[in-house]
A and B are shown apart, each in its own frame.
Chain A
Amino acid sequence: GAGVSQSPSNKVTEKGKDVELRCDPISGHTALYWYRQSLGQGLEFLIYFQGNSAPDKSGLPSDRFSAERTGGSVSTLTIQRTQQEDSAVYLCASSFTMASAYEQYFGPGTRLTVT
């Protein structure tokens, strides 16, 4: 009964490089969320996937950010041409059904540092 896993746990990259962050949700969870946690800014919603529906991308801060979810399971968040302001902890969460979508199970996060 593993929980949500994310990799890598830490990522240091140079400004201008692309990064990929991975999330493995809990098996059977149909909903998957990405958040960004910045110091003093709380949790910022980025994107939401539910089953085979089109994702809700309303929280993505710029077109440098994109995400996909393959086979309704694993998700990858990609940040292109990283900037220093992208430095944050990126959290992934999943939930079981639409009815319990609010009870989100969070992963440990990926700490991204852009130098």
Chain B
Amino acid sequence: AQRVTQPEKLLSVFKGAPVELKCNYSYSGSPELFWYVQYSRQRLQLLLRHISRESIKGFTADLNKGETSFHLKKPFAQEEDSAMYYCALGRAGSYQLTFGKGTKLSVIP
């Protein structure tokens, strides 16, 4: 069975400091990994996906199949990055996403 683990429930960093939100997955097949974000009083929305190799709002995430990780990183945190972040795993042939329990990022001014 597939599983997504986000070890940190809460992560607090100072503005301008680097951010790394950890995500590890367990899946025997070829994974599709995503990061979703939910800002205060807003809807859950897609932030980025590994297949696109994109940088969104300064965030990047690299899929490391050897370590089965998909950590989300940003070199300099901004106050507006404060939000709930969910890592999600998609499986080939299925339209389900398995979500982690989320990490609440708090950027301290």
Q: Does B56 contact A (CB under 8 A)?
A: no
Residues of A within 8 Å of B99, CB to CB, are 35, 42-45
Q: Is B108 an interface residue (CB 8 A)?
A: no
- Chain A residues within an 8 Å CB radius of B98: 45
A98 touches B46 (CB 8 A): no
Q: When A40-B101, A41-B101, A42-B102 are in contact, do A106 and B95 touch as well, CB less than 8 Å?
A: no
- Contacting pair A91 B95 (CB below 8 A): no
Q: Does B32 contact A (CB under 8 A)?
A: yes
Tally of B interface residues using CB under 8 Å: 19
How many residues on A have C-beta within 8 angstroms of the other chain's C-beta atoms? 28
The answer to whether A87 has its CB under 8 Å from any CB of chain B is no
When the two chains form their complex, are residues A56 and B96 in contact, meaning their CB atoms are under 8 A apart? yes
Measured CB to CB, the nearest residue on chain B to A108 is: B43
Contacts of A93 in B (CB 8 A): 44
| Chain B residues, Cβ within 8 Å of A50 | 95
A17-44 residues with Cβ-Cβ distance < 8 A to B are 31, 33, 35, 40-44
A3 near B9 with CB under 8 A, answer: no
A51-110, CB < 8 A from B = 56, 59, 91, 93, 95, 98, 101-109
Query: How close is A62's CB to chain B, nearest CB, in angstroms?
Result: 19
B residues neighboring A (CB under 8 Å): 6, 9, 32, 34, 43-46, 49, 86, 90, 95-102
Q: List 19 A-B contacts (CB under 8 A).
A: A40-B9, A41-B101, A42-B86, A43-B99, A44-B99, A45-B98, A45-B99, A48-B96, A56-B95, A59-B96, A95-B95, A101-B95, A102-B32, A102-B49, A102-B97, A104-B97, A105-B45, A106-B43, A109-B43
- A-B pairs, 8 with minimum CB distance: A42-B101, A43-B99, A101-B95, A106-B44, A106-B43, A102-B90, A42-B99, A42-B102
